[in-house]
A and B are shown apart, each in its own frame.
Chain A
Amino acid sequence: MTAADIVMPMFGQAMEFGVLVEWLTADGAEVAAGQPVASIESDKATYEIEAPVAGMIRHRVAIGAEVPVGDLLAVIGGAQAAGAVETPAASAAPALAPAATPAPARADGRVLASPRARELARAIGVDLAGVTTARADGVIVAADVERHGAAPPAPSAGTMTPLSPLRRATARRLAQSWTQAPHFTQMIEVDASALVAAQAAIRAGRLACSLNDILIRAAALTMADFPDLNASFEDDALQPLPDIAVGLAVATEAGLAVPVVRNAARRSLDEIAAETRRLIDLGKQGRIGAQDMGRASLTLSNLGRYGVAFGTPVLNLGEPVLVFIGAIEEKAVGIDHEIVLQPRTMLSICYDHRVVDGLRAAQFSQRLKQRLEALEDVLPGETEPSPTEPGGARFADGRVKLRLGEADLLVGAKDARLLSIAAALAALTAELPKLGPSARKLRGIEIRLEDGLAATLLCESEAQVARIGRAIEAADIATYSTAILRAELRPARGGGA
């Protein structure tokens, strides 16, 4: 039987120790190679460690222990496995309660709680003043009261609140970065019109990514323009970073994790989107692994949705740049002696002064601003043109030219009735290409105008009827027109219809 040690791995270059959060197998259990055996928390995320070989596992540390990188966690098989673990009874495992913050103390001393939480607290005799909540609005909800009721009494006012291992480590590393790296922040305002348009395209389904993906790509491309900035200051020297990785703050069960998108400058927007989706999914499952962690060239912090305008961020330890994106807000700006309203956002870009001077940083800031304003090389080259609004052509000369399948169709629209039907047909034809290549084979469809605002599309086969029917449904024709379109099978020729 092969024996193997399991030691605290190093997730990310700056990691010094990890906390054993949970044993995923019992002490003395038989494990298979590749089976997750322990859950480890670093300052950035929670990881799972897998058994390198099969065999009986013997735990060597207790839950909650801070274990330096490289130190022994457990052994599998072999002679070492014989010794039983001494679980230090005294080192009480910190409860893995979700990071709970006390409800914010209000000046008037009132506790904010939902009506249901109040009823519940009354019913089970809980004093709401001692209940904490993790909710952003600070309002205690019933679940907080239930959790409190099940937990040991909260520390009374005046006693210290111990931090979770994750938060303890985070605090230590932030302090380290703050004291070691001389920070400076440049704020630069950006015309966010292009970003807002991109957002609209995302909402409309024309762009399959998130706003963050666009930001990641823009930041990575800009970093690629400034290779001298992509370095970490270590031991009085600049250590070039291996590639352009962009850190992305992701919400997880245990708090904020910052996985990185590697090689971000070389990935297309689609690829970045796929990668962030993967990372976010992993984050939700609490399964972000070591390969997805580590030092980034820059980290993005986007708190715009909370209305924050700008910030003075703290760099992640060992990283040269952090870009903080503020809320996009409509502002009055002067353009060519006219006051116009424009969506704008503030970038607060924090630099490590040991890596970059102010001038070079300003060039970086400006380049990023320009890139976000144009989005030229950020969005896919062959961006789908937004489908022409069917409403556009219909008022031109009273006639509407439509392309239905491979046939051009000219609809006279001199009166409101035909106009409405033409608009409905235009909506339909705009929708047809989305239904895939098969829908393009639509030769031979006839249009029969009915009484009222109705038209029937006479098709040659049942399959065609079904396809057109789906397109009619998808086209949401009512948005453009009050007309009603129907697909029907064409009556047999010579039938007199």
Chain B
Amino acid sequence: MRTISYGQAINEALAEEMDRDGDVILYGLDVAAWGGIFNITKGLLERFGPERVFDSPISESVMVGAGVGAAIMGLRPVVELQYADFILVAGDEIFLKAGMWRYMHGGAFKVPLVVRLPSGATGAGPEHSTCPEAYVMHSPGLLCAVPSTAADAKALLKEAIRLDNPVMFFEHRRLYQKRDEVPEGDVTLPFGKGVIRREGRHVTVVAWQYMLSRALKAAELLEQEGIEVEIFDPRTLSPFDSGTLIESVKKTGACLVVEEGYRRLGVGAEIGAILMEQAFGYLDRPFRRLAIPDVPMASVKPLVDRVLPSVEAICDVCRELAA
């Protein structure tokens, strides 16, 4: 099978869906003539024209708010926010408009909106470096995708564009250049169905996007010590595939969540609560989390590295859990 990068996969998904459905439009700062600051939307303006691919002002509120308005009128807008942190700039529009317009109007509308959110700690400073999935997972009415591979990025984005609900689509910037096998053709993935990336008996590690690659590295190291780590990639956080996770924890009795968001009330906290409520009797070890300790994400590399969960830290916790 051919291999393409995560960024190319997103570009392909956008192109294919725009080709398939004339109601799909794409806008955001720099997405048109420049092809996106991360080069993801390159070539789409030339292919689909300025009426469907256009730049926006630096106006996050209207970028997302207009997405809601266009969606309730029948378009399928895809909005790029450049940095996932900006969901807080457009907080009203994401959490109150996209998440609730349908609900507060008694289901009169559909909101088929996709907001693309490049995320991740890349030394861009406290307001351009976070993985704020937890805010989205916390909020009703929003779907949340966190693809970890090029194939998943393409299939989940195609699905997100076709869904009639607002999707916050997190693209981890450290993955844009990662290449892997992506099938040709029209492949989608359902939301709410995670995948076991690696099987093991001793500890279940939940991780996605950049932390998934670290978890996989840790699992390789631990294998040499006889510790078998099972790795669960949820693919989407809303909805969250608790069924597959619980099946895994039934086997291992131990669970560690590794996330790039803040620790306090983070995704891991929710997963821990799910296990307490739904899998209590299967837990044989304390539930554990590795996340950003509750400080902002700094700019320079040593400080960033200091707070990002490391392969070594993952190994250490897994060893404790396997002991």
Q: So, do A and B actually touch in the complex, CB under 8 Å?
A: yes
- List residues of A whose CB falls within 8 A of some B CB: 114-119, 135, 139, 141-143, 200, 203-204, 389, 391, 450-454, 472-473, 476-482, 484
- Of A135, A391, A476, A481, which one neighbours B323 at CB under 8 angstroms? A135
Q: A204 to B305, alpha carbons, bound, how many Å?
A: 10
Shortest C-beta distance, A366 to chain B (Å), equals 32
* Chain A residues, Cβ within 8 Å of B285: 114, 141
Shortest C-beta distance, A75 to chain B (Å), equals 37
Please encode chain B, from 1 to 37, with 1 for each CB lying within 8 Å of some chain A CB and 0 for all others. 0000001000000000000000000000010001111
Q: Contacts A203-B310, A451-B34 given; indicate if A115 touches B282 (C-beta within 8 A).
A: yes
Interface majority SS on B: helix, strand, loop or mixed? loop
| Contact A114–B7 (Cβ < 8 Å) | no
| Contact B39–A452 (Cβ < 8 Å) | yes
* Chain A residues, Cβ within 8 Å of B312: 203
| Contact A479–B37 (Cβ < 8 Å) | no
Q: A198 to B180, alpha carbons, bound, how many Å?
A: 36
Given contacts A118-B281, A479-B304, A484-B7, 12 further A-B contacts (CB under 8 A): A114-B283, A114-B284, A116-B282, A119-B282, A141-B253, A141-B285, A143-B284, A391-B123, A454-B39, A480-B123, A480-B301, A484-B38
Q: A473 to B213, alpha carbons, bound, how many Å?
A: 13
Q: A484 to B30, alpha carbons, bound, how many Å?
A: 16
Q: A253 to B201, alpha carbons, bound, how many Å?
A: 20
Q: A44 to B35, alpha carbons, bound, how many Å?
A: 67
Q: A403 to B64, alpha carbons, bound, how many Å?
A: 44
Q: Does B122 contact A (CB under 8 A)?
A: yes
In this complex, what residue of B is CB-closest to A139? B286
11 contacts between A and B (CB under 8 A): A115-B283, A119-B282, A141-B284, A143-B284, A203-B312, A451-B35, A452-B36, A452-B39, A453-B37, A472-B177, A479-B301
* Chain A residues, Cβ within 8 Å of B265: none
Q: A481 to B38, alpha carbons, bound, how many Å?
A: 11
Q: Contacts A484-B176, A484-B177 given; indicate if A115 touches B281 (C-beta within 8 A).
A: yes
- List residues of B whose CB falls within 8 A of some A CB: 7, 30, 34-39, 42, 120-124, 173-174, 176-177, 253, 280-286, 300-302, 304-305, 310, 312, 323
* Chain A residues, Cβ within 8 Å of B35: 451-452
| Contact B42–A452 (Cβ < 8 Å) | yes
Q: Contacts A453-B37, A479-B301 given; indicate if A117 touches B284 (C-beta within 8 A).
A: yes
Q: A392 to B312, alpha carbons, bound, how many Å?
A: 27
* Chain B residues, Cβ within 8 Å of A118: 281
| Contact A391–B284 (Cβ < 8 Å) | no
* Chain A residues, Cβ within 8 Å of B310: 203
Shortest C-beta distance, B118 to chain A (Å), equals 9
| Contact A116–B253 (Cβ < 8 Å) | yes
* Chain A residues, Cβ within 8 Å of B301: 389, 391, 479-480
| Contact A476–B280 (Cβ < 8 Å) | no
Q: Contacts A391-B300, A480-B123 given; indicate if A116 touches B174 (C-beta within 8 A).
A: no
Q: A142 to B123, alpha carbons, bound, how many Å?
A: 44
- Of A139, A204, A482, which one neighbours B37 at CB under 8 angstroms? A482
Q: Contacts A114-B253, A115-B280, A484-B7 given; indicate if A478 touches B37 (C-beta within 8 A).
A: no
Q: A203 to B7, alpha carbons, bound, how many Å?
A: 30
* Chain B residues, Cβ within 8 Å of A473: 177
In this complex, what residue of B is CB-closest to A142? B284
Q: A454 to B177, alpha carbons, bound, how many Å?
A: 11
* Chain A residues, Cβ within 8 Å of B302: 200
Q: A83 to B124, alpha carbons, bound, how many Å?
A: 80
Residue in A118, A119, A473, A479 with the greatest tally of chain B CB atoms within 10 Å: A479
In this complex, what residue of B is CB-closest to A417? B37
Q: A263 to B34, alpha carbons, bound, how many Å?
A: 65
| Contact A453–B123 (Cβ < 8 Å) | no
Shortest C-beta distance, A123 to chain B (Å), equals 10
Shortest C-beta distance, B128 to chain A (Å), equals 9
| Contact B34–A452 (Cβ < 8 Å) | yes
| Contact A482–B122 (Cβ < 8 Å) | yes
Q: Shortest 3 CB-CB distances between A and B: which pairs?
A: A116-B284, A478-B174, A478-B122
Shortest C-beta distance, A311 to chain B (Å), equals 23
Q: A119 to B284, alpha carbons, bound, how many Å?
A: 10
- Of A143, A203, A472, A478, which one neighbours B120 at CB under 8 angstroms? A478
Residue in A116, A135, A204, A453 with the greatest tally of chain B CB atoms within 10 Å: A116
